[in-house]
Amino acid sequence: MSAAAAAAPAVAVDVAVFTVRDGALHVLLVRLRRGALAGRWALPGGRVRADESLDEAAARELAEATGLRDVYLEQLYSFGSPHRDPYGRVVSVAYVALIAHGGRFAADEEGVTADGRYAGVAWRSVGALPPLAYDHDSVVATALARLRAKLSYTNLVYTLLPAAFTLSELQTMYEAVLGRALDRRNFRKKILGLGLLRPLHRVRRGRHRPAALYAFRHRRPMIVEIL
């Protein structure tokens, strides 16, 4: 259980969970409660157990930190610089997770998490992140690049949206992740032309003209040229 700088590498997983909240892309951070880096912000993660796959470890770590289950998870990259973890030699397999905002975890939580490892959990806008522990700054940067690229040629936006949504909400997701504005007419033309959406023939009302609601025909990852 003690530091082992020259020992064979241990294996961990770290998860960068993204969501779009108020039109801005956010990552889920945890505040470390123990060890040399106590008090620092980091991505949730931990050691891989002997009897679980990497994917299973990522899903477990995410569930332990947040209670979230059945989340879209995708392996990102493995980080293995010899000195990335002050505790000892740890190779970390990073994952990206995407969730729709508004279910559980709508708000930040200040208390100590159930497993006692974290002193708090918070969504932070990717435009204003604190310095992160380990090499998690690099992990987030790599995850962002992957996310931007992948949203352009897959239907993965569905992971960021509830079952019913308006075309404007869909457009907001793309704009938040890609970081640029899109023309509304061209966007609607393109998206509707792809046939990925099913009109629900219901509307969302607000203090303005009601907006038509849509759902995805298929809520599973597919390769589709979107933008």
Partner DNA sequence: CCAAAAGTGTTCGCATTACACCCATGC
Partner DNA sequence: GCATGGGTGTAATGCGAACACTTTTGG
Applying CB under 7 A, the residues found at the interface with DNA are 166-168, 183-186, 188-190, 203, 205-212, 225, 227
DSSP 8-class letter at 188? H
Q: 138: Cβ–Cβ under 8 A, 6 or more apart, which residues?
A: 79
CB-wise, 144 or 213, nearer to a copy of itself? Answer: 144
Q: Are 209 and 202 in contact (CB under 8 A)?
A: no
Q: Which of 1, 22, 39, 51 binds a copy of itself (CB under 8 A)?
A: 51
For the CB of residue 79, give the shortest distance to a copy of itself in the complex, in Å. 8
CB-wise, 86 or 199, nearer to DNA? Answer: 199
CB-wise, 144 or 173, nearer to a copy of itself? Answer: 144
Residue 80 contact among a copy of itself, DNA, none, beta carbon within 5 to 8 Å by kind: a copy of itself
If binding means CB under 8 A, how many residues of this protein chain bind a copy of itself? 25
Sheet with strand 165-166: strands edge to edge? 165-166, 208-216, 197-206
For the CB of residue 178, give the shortest distance to a copy of itself in the complex, in Å. 16
For the CB of residue 213, give the shortest distance to a copy of itself in the complex, in Å. 35
Q: Are 94 and 14 in contact (CB under 8 A)?
A: yes
Q: Give the burial class of 148: count Cβ atoms within 10 A of its Cβ; 0-12 exposed, 13-18 middle, 19 or more buried.
A: middle
Neighbours of 136 (CB within 10 A): 25
For the CB of residue 158, give the shortest distance to DNA in the complex, in Å. 18
Q: Are 71 and 17 in contact (CB under 8 A)?
A: yes
Per-residue x/- mask for a copy of itself, residues 62 to 101, rule CB under 8 A?
-------------x-xxxxxx------x-x-x--------
Cα(106)–Cα(122) distance, integer angstroms: 10
> CA triplet 148, 195, 172: central angle to 5 degrees?
40
CB-wise, 78 or 168, nearer to DNA? Answer: 168
Cα(60)–Cα(62) distance, integer angstroms: 5
Q: Are 31 and 13 in contact (CB under 8 A)?
A: no
CB-wise, 72 or 214, nearer to a copy of itself? Answer: 72
For the CB of residue 173, give the shortest distance to a copy of itself in the complex, in Å. 23
Verify binding: residue 136, a copy of itself, rule CB under 8 A.
no
Neighbours of 66 (CB within 10 A): 23
CB-wise, 189 or 217, nearer to DNA? Answer: 189
Which residues would be at the binding site for a copy of itself (CB under 8 A)? 5-11, 47-48, 50-54, 57, 75, 77-82, 89, 91, 93
